[in-house]
Amino acid sequence: MTKEIVVLGAGMVGVCTALALRQRGHAVVLVDRRMPGRETSYGNAGIIQREAVQPYAFPREWMAALRVITRQGNDVHYHPAALASLLPALARYWRESAPDRYAATVTAYSALIRHCLSEHERLISLAGAQDLVRKSGWLQAYRSASAFDQAARAATEVARQHGLDHRILDRAGITAAEPAWRGPMAGAIHWRDPWTITDPGELVSRYAALFAKQGGIFRHGDATTLKQQENGWTVATEDGPVNAAHAVIALGPWASALTQPFGYRFPLFVKRGYHRHYAVESMPAMPLLDVENGFMLAPMKRGLRLTTGAEFAHHDAAPTPVQLRNAERHARELVHLGAAVEDTPWLGARPCVADMRPVVGRAPRHRGLWFNFGHGHQGFTLGPVTARLLAELMDEDQPFVDPGPYDPIRFGA
């Protein structure tokens, strides 16, 4: 039976959700205050991370945790003023990163990740977006020989367990694989399965255009106007109220703005991240992660995009791009960086859940309310995957992966 559904949030997750539901014949209105794909899904590193079977855990080894706390590395930064309010979610994140719990999360997470390429491939083909896609993988690179040796052993084991295609490159191997990279690298893991996108926001726009072509409706509106009424839900838009039997919250890092007023308290927090584009003489074909210095260099249409690691701060605190400044200095050792393309860096926020799993499924206490958010470091990768899962749950079809690990009920009703 056709359902009337409003999807709130038009990032990668919301657009894919709207599309999956529309493709199942439902009447779908997608609502966002901006155009599709202009927030977090615009500013990321653009990698469809088939290799990301292990989500980022909170470091449990004492030395690694100390390095974070004392802000010695460039991969993690934090605002001391934000710590008190972040503490409950971070404490839960630490607990969920304990080896036994983390192992269960990896099992669940990898079951989603393994479908990312096939789900994107279908949409890329329908949306005619092949021109944005590169299939040469990416490099996880190390400066110190001991860190590289250790990482290479771990990567080989992960690749064996999860059937991933990778190769181990020494310094000469890096240059042979990608002549644009120079500098003091001991070696790299070349993950060969992942696809990279040269304009992540544009990919979301193309998926949104496909949604419109297939009969979906997009409206500008404020999701926080969502109200429950006798027969379902209503939300105010610039073109008047939209009424629907079902509402899906897909607001990424803004999800709490809507879940909290309805009485749901999830251990959500953000890891902020920055990017900036630079002109380069010779654009590399594949991204490189400088692991020890906590930044990624990703070739994009606008230039070489430098993206930073995690900043623990209030979502709306003023930008403090110290990681970007440090990263830029180190990036100049790897590639001849020209002028910055933008005057100010872009700032976005990864929507994180303490147990490192997205929240996908039915709201326990509100009929017709559904959740799909909290994709952390891999929302660009997982958008079409959890969209399919949610659509199958809403239609009461047999889900293609076990939905249990993502069920909102795991945090209580």
Best CA proximity match to 30, nearest among 249, 192, 195, 183: 249
**Strand, helix or coil for residue 107:** helix
Number of residues counted as binding ligand FAD (CB under 6 A): 41
Q: Which of 39, 202, 311, 328 binds ligand FAD (CB under 6 A)?
A: 39
Touching ligand FAD, residues 179-238 (CB under 6 A): 222-224
Q: Does 20 bind ligand FAD (CB under 6 A)?
A: no
Angle between helices 200-213 and 12-23 (to 10 degrees): 20
Q: Does 378 bind ligand FAD (CB under 6 A)?
A: yes
Distance CA 290, CA 331 (A): 8
* Nearby residues of 404 by Cβ (< 8 Å), 6 or more positions away: none
Q: With respect to ligand FAD, which residue has the nearer C-beta, 4 or 75?
A: 75
Q: Which of 4, 6, 7, 11 binds ligand FAD (CB under 6 A)?
A: 11
Helix (H) or strand (E) holding 229: strand 227-229
What number of CA atoms fall less than 13 Å from residue 356's CA on the CB side? 26
Rounded to a whole number of angstroms, the minimum distance from the CB of residue 196 to ligand FAD is 8
Rounded to a whole number of angstroms, the minimum distance from the CB of residue 413 to ligand FAD is 23
Q: Which of 5, 7, 13, 127 binds ligand FAD (CB under 6 A)?
A: 13
Number of H helices, E strands in the chain: 12, 23
Q: Which of 18, 22, 23, 41 binds ligand FAD (CB under 6 A)?
A: 41
DSSP type of residue 59 = P
Q: Residue 381: beta bridge partners?
A: none
Tokens representing 352 are 């994180």
Q: Which of 21, 123, 208, 251 binds ligand FAD (CB under 6 A)?
A: 251
Q: Which of 142, 148, 254, 269 binds ligand FAD (CB under 6 A)?
A: 254
Q: Which of 187, 303, 345, 379 binds ligand FAD (CB under 6 A)?
A: 379
Q: With respect to ligand FAD, which residue has the nearer C-beta, 142 or 373?
A: 373
DSSP type of residue 221 = B
Q: With respect to ligand FAD, which residue has the nearer C-beta, 40 or 259?
A: 40
Q: Does 33 bind ligand FAD (CB under 6 A)?
A: yes
Q: Are strands 246-249 and 369-373 parallel, antiparallel or unpaired?
A: parallel
Distance CA 51, CA 11 (A): 22
Distance CA 388, CA 114 (A): 14
Touching ligand FAD, residues 328-357 (CB under 6 A): 348, 350-351
Tokens representing 368 are 């017709």
Q: Does 14 bind ligand FAD (CB under 6 A)?
A: yes
Rounded to a whole number of angstroms, the minimum distance from the CB of residue 368 to ligand FAD is 19
Q: Residue 48: beta bridge partners?
A: 195
Task: Give me the residues that bind ligand FAD (CB under 6 A), please.
Answer: 9-14, 32-34, 38-41, 43-47, 49, 222-224, 251-254, 257, 273, 275, 307, 348, 350-351, 373, 375-381
